[in-house]
A and B are shown apart, each in its own frame.
Chain A
C-alpha cells in the first residue's frame, strides 16, 4: 500500500537521500519542506500518513514544529518521527518525552529506512 510521507529538514542532502529512499525502496509518495514553518503549512495541505521531522533547524526547530503540528486540528493526529544526529542520551530522552512516535538517528541507511519507519508505525 502506498503511503504519503512529509520530510521536514533544512539539510538538502539529507532531505533528498531520505526522499530517494522512501520513493525508490518503498514506492511511497513523498513531499518535502526545508523549514519548520514551511513544513507546518505543507502538512496541512498534503495530509501525510507520517512526518519525518529534523530536530536541529534554524528558525523553528523540530520540537517547536512538532508542538505547532499538534496544536492544529488538521495535523494533530499525524504520526511524527524525529530525525536527529544527536546521540547523547539526555537529548534522546528529551526528544522521546515530547510525545513523538519515535526518534530516528542520522546517519540512516537509505536501504532500510522505509522498513524502519513501517515497523515503528505498524505498516508491515
Chain B
C-alpha cells in the first residue's frame, strides 16, 4: 500500500464488485505501463517516433484516470507526471527518459502491491 491509496474503503457489495473489475482490467493497466516502457526503450535508443510518444501520452493519461478510481491515488500522481513528460507539445528530453523509466517501475510496483 502506498500513501493515499485506499482500496477496501467501500461498502461490501461495491468492494467485491470493484475487486472483480480490478482483476478484469489489470492486464489492460499493465499494457498501458508497457507502452510507457516501450517509449523509454525507444528514447534511450534514439528512435522514439511521434506515434509512440503520442501512444505513451495517451497511456499515461488513461492510467491517471483509472488508477485512482481503483483506490491507487499514488499511481494517479505518477501517471500525471508521466503524461506531462510525454506531452505531445514537445519532444521528450533525453534526461526525462530516466524519470519516465522510474515512474513505469513504480507503477508496476503499485499494481503488484495491490495484487
Contact = CB atoms under 8 A, between A and B. Distances in A.
Interface of A: 11-14, 16-17, 20-21, 24-25, 56, 85, 87, 106-111
Contacts, number: 64
A111 B25 contact: no
Nearest to B18: A110
Interface residues of B, number: 24
B14 interface: yes
B39 interface: no
In order of increasing CB-CB distance, the 8 nearest A-B pairs are A107-B68, A106-B65, A85-B65, A107-B69, A13-B25, A111-B10, A85-B64, A24-B14
A14 B66 contact: yes
Interface string B60-82: 01101111111001001000100
Contacts of A25: 11, 14
B69 A87 contact: no
Interface of A is mostly: loop
Interface string B1-26: 00000000111011001100100110
B49 interface: no
Nearest to B75: A107
B25 A87 contact: no
B90 to A, nearest CB: 15
A87 B9 CA distance: 25
A24 B62 CA distance: 24
B44 interface: no
B110 to A, nearest CB: 13
A106 B21 CA distance: 17
Interface string B64-107: 11111110010010001000000000000000000000000000
Nearest to A105: B65
Contacts of A14: 65-66, 69
A21 B10 CA distance: 10
Contacts of A110: 10, 14, 18, 69
A14 B68 CA distance: 11
